[in-house]
Amino acid sequence: MPHVPGTQETAVKLVGVNKWYGKFQVLRNLNLSVARGERIVVCGPSGSGKSTMIRCINGLEEHQEGRILVDGTELTDDGKIGDAIRREVGMVFQHFNLFPHLTILENCTLAPMKVRGLSKAEAEEVAMHYLTRVRIPDQAGKYPGALSGGQQQRVAIARALCMKPKIMLFDEPTSALDPEMVKEVLDTMVGLAGDGMTMLCVTHEMGFARQVADRVIFMDKGEIVEEAPPAEFFDNPKNERSRQFLAQILH
Amino acid sequence: MRQFTDWQITTLLLDAAVWTVVLSLIAFVGGALLGLVVTVMRVSGKKPLERLSAGFIAAVQSIPLLMLIFLCFFGPAVVGVEISPWVAAATALILFAAAFLAEIWRSSIQAVPRGQWEAGKALGLRFLQVFRDIVAPQALRLAVPPTVGFSVQVVKGTALTSIIGFVELTKAGTMLNNVTFRPFFVFAVVALVYFALCYPLSYASRLLERRLASR
Ligand SMILES: Nc1ncnc2c1ncn2[C@@H]1O[C@H](COP(=O)(O)OP(=O)(O)OP(=O)(O)O)[C@@H](O)[C@H]1O
Ligand SMILES: [Mg+2]
pLDDT digits (tens, 9 = 90+) for A135-186: 999 999 999 999 999 999 999 999 999 999 999 999 999 999 999 999 999 9
* pLDDT computed for residue A227 by the predictor: 94
For B130, nearest residue in chain A (alpha carbons): A111
* pLDDT computed for residue B167 by the predictor: 87
* pLDDT computed for residue A7 by the predictor: 56
Please tell me the total count of domains within chain B: 1
* pLDDT computed for residue A2 by the predictor: 46
Instruction: Give domain status of residue B123, yes or no.
Output: yes
Q: Tell whether ligand 1 has an atom less than 6 A from the beta carbon of residue A26.
A: yes
Q: Tell whether ligand 1 has an atom less than 6 A from the beta carbon of residue A52.
A: yes
Q: Kindly report the pTM of this predicted structure.
A: 0.84
Instruction: Give domain status of residue B73, yes or no.
Output: yes
- Residues B11-55: tens digit of each pLDDT: 999 999 999 999 999 999 999 999 999 999 998 889 999 999 999
Of all residues in chain B, the percent with pLDDT exceeding 70 is 98
- Residue range of the domain that includes B52: 6-214
Q: Could you tell me which residues come within 8 angstroms of residue A16 by beta carbon, excluding any fewer than 6 positions away?
A: A29, A30, A31, A65, A66, A67
**CB pair distance less than 8 Å for B116 and A159:** no
- Residues B66-116: tens digit of each pLDDT: 999 999 999 998 888 888 999 999 999 999 999 999 999 999 999 999 999
Nearest ligand to residue A56 Cα: 1
Q: Is the pLDDT of residue B205 over 90?
A: no
Q: Which residues of chain A have pLDDT under 70?
A: 1-8, 251
Measured at the alpha carbon of residue A43, what is the angle toward residues A63 and A221, in degrees to the nearest 5? 55
Ligand 1 atom 7: residue of nearest CA: A21
Find out whether A246 and A228 touch, Cβ atoms under 8 Å.
no
Instruction: Give domain status of residue B207, yes or no.
Output: yes
User: Any CB–CB contact under 8 A between B128 and chain A?
Assistant: no
ipTM of this model? 0.92
Q: Tell whether ligand 1 has an atom less than 6 A from the beta carbon of residue A48.
A: yes
Q: Give the separation between CA B116 and CA B62, rounded to whole angstroms.
A: 33
**CB pair distance less than 8 Å for B122 and A58:** yes
Look at residues B54, B94, B100 and name the one whose alpha carbon lies nearest to residue B72: B94
Find out whether A21 and A210 touch, Cβ atoms under 8 Å.
no
Ligand 1 atom 13: residue of nearest CA: A47
Instruction: Give domain status of residue B129, yes or no.
Output: yes
What CATH number did the domain enclosing B138 receive? Answer: 1.10.3720.10
Instruction: Give domain status of residue B1, yes or no.
Output: no
Instruction: Give domain status of residue B135, yes or no.
Output: yes
